Amino acid sequence: MKKFFLSTCFIWLICAVAAHPLLAQSGSGKQQGNPYLFNDSHFHLTNYIQEGITVNDLLELMGDKIHRSTLFGIPLQQQWSYRVTEEFAPQYYLDSDAPLYYYSFTDAYIAMQYLSLNETDRARFDPMITGFNPTDMYAAAHIRRVLETFPGVFSGIGEFSIHKEFVSSKISGDVASLTDPALDSIFAFCAEVGLQIILHNDVDDPFPKANTPNYTTELINLFKRHPDASVIWAHCGLGRIVSPPSEYTKFLESLLADPELQHVNFDISWDEVAKYVVHDESSLTNSADLFNKYPDRFLFGTDNVAPATQEKHLHVYELYEPLWAVLTPENSYKIRLGNYERLFDAAAAKVRAWEKENVGKPKKAPAHTPASGIRKH
Ligand SMILES: [Zn+2]
């Protein structure tokens, strides 16, 4: 698949952030009658040890700058193994060789945070389910159980990861895979319910060798197997070390133009992604051209994890100011605000309708479980 990423070293981004006249005002943020700068399609309330800020803290940080926000924790807990780090309490997955494990209580925590708000404030959040193990055929049953326990709360699932640099290999139990039938059952359930999916899957390995396989084909096949699922591919497949392969905008354009992938959208969250986009004039131009050509398919998000101040919370948005300045006002609006509203409003409406039909009612046994009676032995 390296064929996609031909010669020219692509490099997305900028560095000339400095003084763009439009930027100081974030002028494009005022388009279309919405006074807010953005909706946050990618936000973590808690971190890898399940600590963070409260939803009330977040409301303060959002203030009059951020209208709406997704709300999720992190589905993985970094174990504090005394045998490994003794008195040192790791707070991040790179702080220790001890494993990560799936922490399902995050879903109850997020739901209770959301439910602590009044009706007006709730309207600004889209909580997401993350506390499932994507290698487990019972994962979809967990997602269903969360909907049944907390009806009226969740809009989707994620951010959850299949291949993520330095993380996937640290998780206790089976290694996640894009070809796992458990993942198909999750996507199928989300399509049935209308849950928005936010999937993190690096496009390649951290230090890829030329002409070796990466995850592109498996990922595209997964998306194509589930045309009725609404998907956001987090960070456009990039990471801290996973940099854009050559000709990456051309590769993304091939996905955007594919009629079988119209249900797949892309978030440009994370300061690590912003750094590629605004790296230089060429990366900025290539990126802006792509976003201007497919303005309905990209969403801004921060990917912040429990930020302490509003200044920190707005940092990723500000990194992108060179981009906001070169997008048309209409397209900037879509990426910062409009696409979020369209996708998450549609998801929430479908999930509420599914809950009305299904919560508290007898349910059919999920396929491929002992209860379904189709065990092979
Ligand atoms: Zn994230």
CATH number for the domain spanning 104: value is: 3.20.20.140
Residues 6 or more apart in contact with residue 89 via CB below 8 angstroms: 49, 80
Ligand 1 centre from 159 Cα, in Å?
A: 6
Ligand 1 centre from 129 Cα, in Å?
A: 13
Range of the domain at 355: 17-359
Confirm whether pTM is higher than 0.85: yes
On whether the CB atoms of residues 226 and 260 are closer than 8 A, the answer is no
Is 74 inside a domain boundary? yes
Distance (Å, whole) CA 86 – CA 243: 35
pLDDT 10s digits, 210-267: 765 588 899 999 999 999 999 999 999 998 888 777 788 999 999 999 999 999 999 9
Q: State the average pLDDT over residues 168-175.
A: 91
Ligand 1 centre from 315 Cα, in Å?
A: 15
Q: Which stretches of 264-362 are assigned E, i.e. beta strand?
A: 264-267, 298-299, 304-305
On whether the CB atoms of residues 135 and 173 are closer than 8 A, the answer is yes
pLDDT at 29 over 70: no
DSSP annotation string for 348-361: HHHHHHHHHHHTTS
What does R_g of the chain's alpha carbons equal in angstroms? Answer: 20
Is 133 inside a domain boundary? yes
Distance (Å, whole) CA 23 – CA 20: 5
On whether the CB atoms of residues 316 and 38 are closer than 8 A, the answer is no
Ligand 1 centre from 305 Cα, in Å?
A: 8
Residues 6 or more apart in contact with residue 247 via CB below 8 angstroms: 4, 5, 6, 7, 8, 10
Ligand 1 centre from 44 Cα, in Å?
A: 7
Ligand 1 centre from 200 Cα, in Å?
A: 8
**In the structure encoding, which two tokens stand for residue 220, read together?**
């595209």
Lowest-pLDDT range, 180-184, 234-238, 365-369?
A: 365-369
Ligand 1 centre from 237 Cα, in Å?
A: 12
Is 9 inside a domain boundary? no
Is 376 inside a domain boundary? no
Q: State the average pLDDT over residues 324-337.
A: 97
Report the number of distinct structural domains present in the chain: 1
pLDDT band at 342 (very low <50, low <70, confident <90, very high): very high
Distance (Å, whole) CA 233 – CA 235: 7
Distance (Å, whole) CA 229 – CA 323: 29
Lowest-pLDDT range, 61-65, 93-97, 303-307?
A: 93-97
Distance (Å, whole) CA 161 – CA 275: 22
Distance (Å, whole) CA 212 – CA 287: 26
Ligand 1 centre from 9 Cα, in Å?
A: 26
Q: State the average pLDDT over residues 30-36.
A: 71
Ligand 1 centre from 165 Cα, in Å?
A: 13
**pLDDT for the residue numbered 260:** 98
Is 8 inside a domain boundary? no
pLDDT band at 165 (very low <50, low <70, confident <90, very high): confident
On whether the CB atoms of residues 304 and 316 are closer than 8 A, the answer is yes
Q: Nearest Cα to 335, choosing from 363, 377, 300?
A: 300
Is 4 inside a domain boundary? no
Ligand 1 centre from 124 Cα, in Å?
A: 19
Q: State the average pLDDT over residues 171-197.
A: 96
Tell me what percent of the residues of the chain surpass a pLDDT of 90. Answer: 77
Ligand 1 centre from 42 Cα, in Å?
A: 6
Q: State the average pLDDT over residues 283-295.
A: 96
